[in-house]
Amino acid sequence: MPARVMNYDAAAYRYQLTKSKTLYPVLTLVVYYGKEAWNYSRNLLGNIELQKLPREMRQLISDYEIKAFYRVSDLSAPELDQRFKSAFFCLAEYFIQTNAGEEYHPSAKKLSVEDIMLLLDMMNSLSGTHAYDE
């Protein structure tokens, strides 16, 4: 995952450079929906076999760390409400409830039609179908 985040960030900076000489900060947010705890390294060097490399060379290798990582199931209802104001709130709420073994019951949070459409588009993308078009 750190290599993927590094790639996403590099692609965003590369795109910016094609448009102008000014670079703006890029933040890639990793949101983990799994039931199980995240048991993988959040930095690139934690995923690379370094034992065969001489010690003096190890410090010369650039590392890349996932700075913004959230495990959705770890958020409480107040934290969820505070952090997410858009359609993503519904998706996170769904994963929190279902990962806890509960049946999903949407909250009474008011969302715009645009928010709901964005959520349904996201669900289509995540499922790889067009089931949510209807």
Span 68-114, pLDDT tens digits: 888 887 888 788 888 777 777 777 888 888 888 888 787 777 777 77
**Mean of all residue pLDDT scores within the chain:** 85
Burial of residue 95 (number of CB atoms within 10 Å: 0-12, 13-18, 19+): buried
Cα 53 vs. chain centroid, distance in angstroms? 32
> ∠124-127-132 over CA atoms, to 5°?
35
* 95 close to 73: Cβ distance less than 8 angstroms: yes
Give pLDDT, residue 130. Answer: 82
Domain ranges for the chain: 1-74, 76-134
- Average pLDDT in the 119-123 region? 78
Give 63's DSSP letter: P
Give pLDDT, residue 77. Answer: 76
Confidence of residue 18 (pLDDT cuts 50, 70, 90): very high
The pTM of the full predicted model, rounded to 2 decimals, is 0.65
Give pLDDT, residue 16. Answer: 95
Of 133 and 10, more confident? 10
- Average pLDDT in the 52-59 region? 88
Cα 45 vs. chain centroid, distance in angstroms? 20
